[in-house]
Chain A
Amino acid sequence: MTSLPAKQNKKLGLVIDLDICVGCHACAVNCKEWNTSGHSSPLHDIDPYGDDPTGVWFNRIHTFEVESEINGSKTVHFPKSCLHCSDAPCVTVCPTGASYKREEDGIVLVNPETCIGCKLCSWSCPYGAREYDEEAGIMKKCTLCVDKIYNENIPESDRVPACVSTCPAGARSFGDLGDENSDIFKLVEERNGYDLMPEQDCLPTNKYLPPREKNNQFKNDALNSITNDNDFSFDTWKEIVEDASK
């Protein structure tokens, strides 16, 4: 059925910390690696070594420049994959019922047997989460590694999405965002996690944590001491660093 489930027992999703992400693209690479041999395999590439390569990826890392009066200019790396929305338009527009949202954990999936490849779901998604596989003629998307997070053949500590387990900086967290007692829910509360494009009314499950405010005091102190203090030495510098780290 392409109607959304009346209730969701769990809201599994990701939390992405924009303060930590260094834009290394490891999550995107490991996502491709896992999924090209998993539930949605293979994720086709077209002309991979030619002049005009293209292919199916579930996760992409954009980079933005944010200029603010308080914090100055900042580069923000911005990974984006399916946000497993509670009110997912990609599910309700599907004419065949191939696109569905699971009641048990809220994961949005595509049934490769019944998808006709009309691409309407990709048009209805504001986040560009859906990818058309030209070779297979069907839509594919982030499965939240449904074939990994419940996989009893791998160690329990590995049962998180590939993008989460591979992130070298720890910028990605995975968990039940519908459970107010979960660590991930508390993290979002604490760091003012937010929704992307809330005006699109999709109620995304995945949340983003904004970069922390810059502490300019430390920088200013250091600069002042260099310019004002003629006796500036390594020891003075060390003092400042030690003071700041207290």
Chain B
Amino acid sequence: MIMIFLLILGKKLLKMHPSKSIIFFTVMSGTGYGIIICLSFLALIAEINFNYGFKLSLILISFLFITLGLLSSTLHLGHPERAWRSFSQWRSSWLSREGLAAVLTYIPLMLFYLLWFLEMDIFKYFLYSASILSVITIYCTGQMYASLKTVPAWNNVYVTPIYLINGLSIGSLSIYCLTRFYESEIQHLYQFTLLSLALCLMLKIIYWFHIRTKSTSSINTAIGLGKDNKVSSFEGPHTGRNFLTTEMINKIKKEKANFLRLCFIILSCILPIYMIVQEATLIIDAFILKLSFFITLVFALIGMLIERYLFFIQAKHVVSLYYGENKV
């Protein structure tokens, strides 16, 4: 059943338009940065000296998530080899700021990995600075979308906090699942993970209610022939598709969107919370426990991918007003 579900999902993912690489990038990097931010919170209030195996897997997972995400983000570019040019316009462009912050994060991050592994106490300062830069990177990603007036579903105050809290919740869940795997305990991690997961769910539901309100842009403002007149598209500029209709005008059925929302709520919020809270009653066997937490994490990541997919596909661009929509 699960395999069939994943196969169908995989096929859909390959075909769909909102750029796969962007969805993968924002989720993966967000998770990696979330791990770093969560670790720095834990380091503030507790000791985070674990055994080598645990440390090494945390280092590897966060590094791989961040790096694979960033690499995949260059895949949607027409000229990936020119990506370095995007560090120049940080004065005006959130995308440029995001790229710059992402690269700068690596400096304290690598030093933190090294010093933490060598058990040198100053690692904390590098962890804190890496964590601040991680927050800045996710903030820039969020702002890039939130600053686009052309997409009312993004142009609001919820988008950036959602990016931050999503990264944080899945990041702390990753650490939590690792502690189950290595059978260790970190103080306050239990409360921290539950809190961030609950916040993540709450914020997303508020967001979904918020985006039901329509923007002030309508077909009447788009072509400007009287605000009380009934205006409708009579004929498109051509019968085929074009760049705009494939890139920006995506449609999803309401029932399908609601189903996917439910998938996100269950996979990324309810299931992890249930697993964490009910862990004591679930212990049958140490191996099964480890396995079930691993599966929980994989499901939560899939849920996050679904959430990001919805974020893109449900974002109606005002240009669709020229292609048959009356409201956005």
Once the chains bind, are A28 and B237 in contact (CB under 8 Å)?
yes
Report chain B residues within 8 Å CB of A197.
217, 221-222, 224, 318
Q: Of residues 73 to 122 in A, which have CB atoms within 8 Å of B's CB atoms?
A: 75-76, 78, 80, 89, 91-98, 114-120, 122
Once the chains bind, are A65 and B231 in contact (CB under 8 Å)?
yes
With the chains together, A132 CA to B91 CA distance in Å? 25
Once the chains bind, are A124 and B150 in contact (CB under 8 Å)?
yes
Among the listed stretches B55-63, B82-90, B163-171, B199-207, which one makes contact with chain A, having 4 or more residues with CB under 8 Å of it?
B82-90
- The reply on A61 being an interface residue by CB < 8 A is yes
Q: Which one, B222, B223, B237, contacts A76 given CB within 8 A?
A: B223
Q: Which one, A54, A62, A93, A200, contacts B94 given CB within 8 A?
A: A93
- The reply on B225 being an interface residue by CB < 8 A is yes
Once the chains bind, are B243 and A196 in contact (CB under 8 Å)?
no
Given the interface pairs A67-B229, A197-B222, A210-B224, the reply to whether A92 lies near B92 with Cβ below 8 Å is yes
- The reply on A199 being an interface residue by CB < 8 A is yes
Q: Which one, B89, B147, B217, contacts A96 given CB within 8 A?
A: B89
- Shortest CB–CB separation between residue A57 and chain B, in angstroms? 7
- The reply on A171 being an interface residue by CB < 8 A is no
- The reply on B235 being an interface residue by CB < 8 A is yes
With the chains together, A201 CA to B216 CA distance in Å? 12
- The reply on B187 being an interface residue by CB < 8 A is no
Cβ-closest chain B residue relative to A61: B237
Once the chains bind, are A63 and B235 in contact (CB under 8 Å)?
yes
Report chain B residues within 8 Å CB of A124.
148, 150
Of listed B80, B148, B221, B234, residue having the most chain A CB within 10 A: B234
Cβ-closest chain A residue relative to B319: A128
Q: What would 8 more interface pairs be, CB under 8 Å, given A116-B82, A119-B247, A125-B150?
A: A89-B150, A95-B89, A96-B86, A122-B244, A124-B148, A126-B217, A132-B78, A196-B221
Once the chains bind, are B233 and A66 in contact (CB under 8 Å)?
no
Report chain A residues within 8 Å CB of B318.
126, 197, 200
With the chains together, A125 CA to B237 CA distance in Å? 18
Report chain B residues within 8 Å CB of A119.
76, 78, 247
- The reply on B327 being an interface residue by CB < 8 A is no
Q: Which one, A52, A65, A136, contacts B234 given CB within 8 A?
A: A65
- The reply on B238 being an interface residue by CB < 8 A is yes
With the chains together, A28 CA to B216 CA distance in Å? 30
Report chain A residues within 8 Å CB of B217.
126, 197, 199-200
**Nearest 6 pairs of A and B residues by beta carbon:** A117-B78, A137-B78, A60-B237, A95-B86, A95-B96, A128-B319
- The reply on B77 being an interface residue by CB < 8 A is yes
27 A-B Cβ contacts within 8 A? A1-B91, A53-B240, A54-B241, A66-B231, A67-B230, A68-B229, A76-B225, A89-B149, A91-B92, A95-B87, A95-B95, A96-B89, A115-B82, A116-B83, A118-B86, A119-B78, A123-B150, A124-B148, A126-B149, A126-B217, A127-B322, A128-B244, A138-B79, A194-B224, A197-B224, A199-B216, A208-B224
Report chain B residues within 8 Å CB of A155.
none
Once the chains bind, are A3 and B225 in contact (CB under 8 Å)?
no
- Shortest CB–CB separation between residue B108 and chain A, in angstroms? 23
Given the interface pairs A126-B319, A196-B224, the reply to whether A93 lies near B93 with Cβ below 8 Å is yes
Interface residues on B, range: 35 or more
- Shortest CB–CB separation between residue B232 and chain A, in angstroms? 5
Once the chains bind, are A54 and B243 in contact (CB under 8 Å)?
yes
Report chain A residues within 8 Å CB of B234.
63-65, 75
With the chains together, A211 CA to B286 CA distance in Å? 77
- The reply on A195 being an interface residue by CB < 8 A is yes
- The reply on B236 being an interface residue by CB < 8 A is yes
- The reply on A33 being an interface residue by CB < 8 A is no
Report chain B residues within 8 Å CB of A57.
242
With the chains together, A95 CA to B223 CA distance in Å? 30
Report chain A residues within 8 Å CB of B235.
62-63
- The reply on B265 being an interface residue by CB < 8 A is no
Q: Convert A200-215 into 0s and 1s, putting 1 for each residue whose CB lies closer than 8 angstroms to a CB of B.
A: 1100000010110000
Once the chains bind, are A65 and B78 in contact (CB under 8 Å)?
no
Q: Convert B238-255 into 0s and 1s, putting 1 for each residue whose CB lies closer than 8 angstroms to a CB of A.
A: 101111101110000000
- The reply on B178 being an interface residue by CB < 8 A is no
Q: Which one, A52, A76, A94, A128, contacts B248 given CB within 8 A?
A: A128
With the chains together, A46 CA to B175 CA distance in Å? 47
Once the chains bind, are A2 and B92 in contact (CB under 8 Å)?
yes
